[in-house]
Amino acid sequence: MLLNLQVEARTTAGPFLVAVAAAGGIAFAGLVLAGLRHAAPAVAADVPAGFGETTAVARALFTVYLVPFELTSVLLLVAIVGAVALAKKGT
């Protein structure tokens, strides 16, 4: 079916690659923390009544954005069918 049950040889990364990845992760975490430390505090915004409710989102999705919504659904359907076709084992 869609399962490929063959055993694969797993290779592990060398200690140099692990050290570089760990250093990169620590550097990235430091950059994120530095950016958060210097970020401006959030200001409360006035939002209209009903903002973010399900009915408001549904009304906008099925009226104003109906065509992009349907095109996205067709694109996702084609992607799923393509993924299944590529994953099938050739018989």
Higher pLDDT, 79 or 40: 79
Residue 2 reports pLDDT greater than 70: no
- Side chain identity, residue 90: G
Q: How many alpha carbons lie under 13 Å from residue 51 in its C-beta half-sphere?
A: 5
Q: Please write the tens of the pLDDT for every residue from 61-85.
A: 889 999 999 999 999 999 999 999 8
Write down the domain spans for the chain. 63-91
Are 87 and 2 a contacting pair, CB within 8 Å?
yes
At 1, the pLDDT band (50, 70, 90 cuts) reads low
Joined tokens for residue 73: 């659904």
Report the pLDDT averaged over residues 27-51.
Answer: 88
Task: Spell out the alpha helix ranges (H) of 1-91.
Answer: 15-38, 54-62, 66-87
Other beta carbons less than 10 A from residue 40's beta carbon: 5
